[in-house]
Amino acid sequence: MPDNTTPLKRRSLRIAATALAATLPVWAVTAGPGGVVPTAAAQPGQEASASAEPAVVDGPFDSREAAEKTNYVPAEEAAWRNHVYSDTGRLDKMEEYKVHSPSMNRDIPVVVIRADNDVVNPPTLYLLNGADGGTGLANWLEQTTAADFYGNRVGSVNVVIPMSGAFSYYTDWEQPSALAGGGVQKWETFLTGELPGPMEKKLGTTNQHRAIVGMSMSASSVLVYAEQHQNLYDAVASYSGCPATSGAAASTVDVVLDRGNATYEEMWGDRNGETARRNDALLNVDKLSGQKNIYISSSSGLMGEHDVPSGDRLRGNPVGSVTPAVEGGAIEAVSNVCTHAFKAAADKAGIDSDRNNINWNFRDTGTHQWGYWQDDMFLSWPTLAAGLGLDTGDAEEKARQAAEDYLAANPGVGAAGSVPLLIDTWNNAWEKTYGDGADGNGEGAGA
């Protein structure tokens, strides 16, 4: 039978199915006498970092014009350049590099937020985008104060942000797909093996301390990297992800892959197969036993301070609450279930705050959106700084001040953004329909 549902309805059904699957306790864990424990995981294959050829790093470009002349990335996928260049050249501390991946045989845009000039041998933080990979407007530069926070306030770390990889899960795919115009996807090989050495050498540092951050789609990816490439990262942060990705929990992955017209089978093959299980962070949680400095967060899915019309993100736009309340709430609720299951498995595996410096942030409210990931950017910085060999006291103070300054500069509209604004919006719409002489009750003002 033909599918007569609208794309919005189909997506809503998919989200609902995902939420249902995520509530099933059999998808990633089994109950034992001591509580929740991970099921047996497949042995990992050869480490990408051990066999990868080095990437070729070209840049930085002196100007936007110079970068655009190379035509290596479509202009419609490079809106992030607005945050890298001014009319005359690069903005302070911002750089764009063209990086060639041997495994994918393609050039990948990478944005760098440089450490202060007087910082000698800084560590490196790899910052991954979510589902659109930075090709649209859903990226760290567009949606957060990352450039100011890391570049101006922290100033002691080089931040590396790949601006590609939409809907790829930043993983190595088993088959070619429609992503990025077709071809092979070898993102884990690129990010863990090909990129770090050449990128850090290009940035002039020999500091071996590095950390990685992922959110939404990439939140589970960074946990897999830490598990499968032990000792590569000194700190890891995962915001609003679903660490369970195989078996019945594969439906959570389908939500992302559908948007890229790709399939789970193209990516990892059988949903219960060796590759799928190898890339399931929950099944391999015991491999984090040697990892230090971990920050993991999720919210309940209930609307919070960044979701309401009166808040800092919407600034009085009542319609803007619809997506967080409906779609973002459902997605985050699923992430929350996944993350709590991951914590139970981590606890069972003996991964704890004292031995591993693992910090959990479970919010009572909040949906799947950038306001909370910016909060995580601030809140996770002391944990990341500990791994990067930086002063944690200084990190706490800078994070606290950055959060306070952001809220002071973006206070929202307060009570005027809630009921009064909704009434005004209703009356304005009514007047446009029935004329200036009508009120919201359908009667003339003088009646």
Give the pair of three-digit tokens for residue 320: 């803007």
Percent of the chain with pLDDT over 70: 81
User: How many Cβ atoms from other residues are within 10 Å of residue 233's Cβ?
Assistant: 26
CA-based torsion, 390, 393, 399, 405: positive or negative: negative
Place of tokens 């760290």: 140
DSSP 438: B
Question: Between these two residues, 152 and 433, which has the higher pLDDT value?
Answer: 152
Q: State pLDDT tens for residues 384-412.
A: 999 999 999 999 999 999 999 999 999 98
Average pLDDT estimate for 151-168? 97
Residue that has been written with the tokens 């006498």 in this structure: 33
Task: Please say if the pLDDT value at position 423 is more than 90.
Answer: no
Does residue 272 carry a pLDDT above 60?
yes
Which residue in this structure is represented by tokens 């090909």? 194
| Whether the Cβ atoms of residue 218 and residue 224 lie closer than 8 Å to each other | no
Instruction: Kindly list the distances between the CA atom of residue 342 and the CA atoms of 32, 219, 240, 280, in Å, as whole numbers in the listed order.
Output: 15, 12, 12, 11
The answer to whether 124 touches 205, Cβ cutoff 8 Å, is: yes
Residue 415: predicted pLDDT:
56
pLDDT at 417 over 90: no
Type and span of the H or E element at 308: none
pLDDT in tens, 45-104: 334 455 689 999 999 999 999 999 999 999 999 999 999 999 999 999 999 999 999 999
Q: Are 313 and 307 in contact (CB under 8 A)?
A: yes
pTM of the model: 0.85
Fold of 7-409: Rossmann fold (3.40.50)
State mean pLDDT over 428-436. Answer: 64
Alpha helices in 23-116 (DSSP H): 48-51, 64-70
Please state, as a whole number, how many other Cβ atoms lie within 10 Å of the Cβ of residue 319: 9
* CA dihedral sign, ordered 49, 163, 127, 42: negative
Residue 176 CB partners (closer than 8 Å, separation 6+)? 182, 183, 184, 185, 266
pLDDT at 324: 74
Q: Which two tokens stand for residue 193?
A: 């093996």
Dump pLDDT digits (tens) for 101-112: 999 999 999 999
For the chain, the domains span: 7-409
| Distance of alpha carbon 425 from alpha carbon 428, whole angstroms | 5
27-43 residue pLDDT tens? 333 323 233 333 333 33
Return the residue matching tokens 């007569």: 4
Q: How far is CA 135 from CA 20, 124, 130, 259, 414, in A?
A: 30, 23, 10, 13, 33
Rounded distance between C-alpha atoms, residue 373 and residue 335, angstroms: 13
Biggest CA pair distance of the chain: 81
316 neighbors 421 (Cβ within 8 angstroms): yes
- pLDDT, averaged across the chain: 86
Q: 344 - beta bridge partners?
A: none
Q: Which long-range contacts (CB under 8 A, 24 or more apart) does 403-407 make?
A: 403/375, 403/378, 403/379, 406/145, 406/312, 406/374, 407/312
- Three-state DSSP at 321 gives helix
